Amino acid sequence: MTEASWRDSVPETSAADLETLLGTGIGAAREQLEGHGGFLPFALAMEHGSDVRLLAVAPEASAPGAGDESGFDADAMIQDLIELLRQNRGDYRAVALVCDITLVEEDSDAIHVAAEHHDGSVFAAVLPYGLDTAGTGLEFGQLAADTNEPVVWVD
C-alpha cells in the first residue's frame, strides 16, 4: 500500500526513472558486496536520454582516531558526490546516491539508495544484509522504503 501511494504521488515517468536508479544502485552495490565484501559510496545519474552513468570520487583518508576503521571518510565522499551532482544537474533528469549504512536498531548493515528527480520527486530504500548462518556468504533482507530529502535540486 505504501508503494502504491508513493507511485500515485509522482508522475509515472518520474517513478519509472527513480525505480530504475533504485534497481541499478541495489544491483551494483550487491555485486561489489558479493565480489569484494564492501563498497564505497557512489552515485548514479540518469541523463536526459536514458543512459545511466555511475559516478565515483576518490576516497580521502579519514583522520586518525576518527573512529572509521575502514581508512576512508565515507561522509566526505558522499558530500563530494552531492557537490558533483549539483554542479552537473543540468545534464541529468534523475540521480541517486548509494552508500553502505548501519541500521542500529536492527544491528545490521544495509545498502541505502536515495534517488531524486529534477521534478522534485524523491524515493529512498534500504536493503539489509549480513553474513549467512554458515558465515560463508551474504544474505539479504527485505527491501524497505526509507525517508529522503532532496539534496541535488534544492534551490
pLDDT tens digit string along 112-153? 999 999 999 999 999 999 988 887 889 999 999 998 899 999
pLDDT at 1: 38
Rg (CA), the chain: 16
pTM: 0.87
Model confidence pLDDT, tens digit, residues 21-59: 999 999 999 999 999 989 999 999 999 887 899 999 988
Length of the chain: 155
List of residues 6+ apart from 27 with CB closer than 8 A: none
pLDDT at 6: 57
Q: Could you give the 3-state DSSP secondary structure of residue 128?
A: strand
Handedness of CA 36, 37, 38, 43 (dihedral sign): positive
pLDDT at 27: 96
> Rounded mean pLDDT of 89-114?
94
Element (H, E) at 129: strand 122-131
Cα separation, 67 vs 57, in Å, equals 21
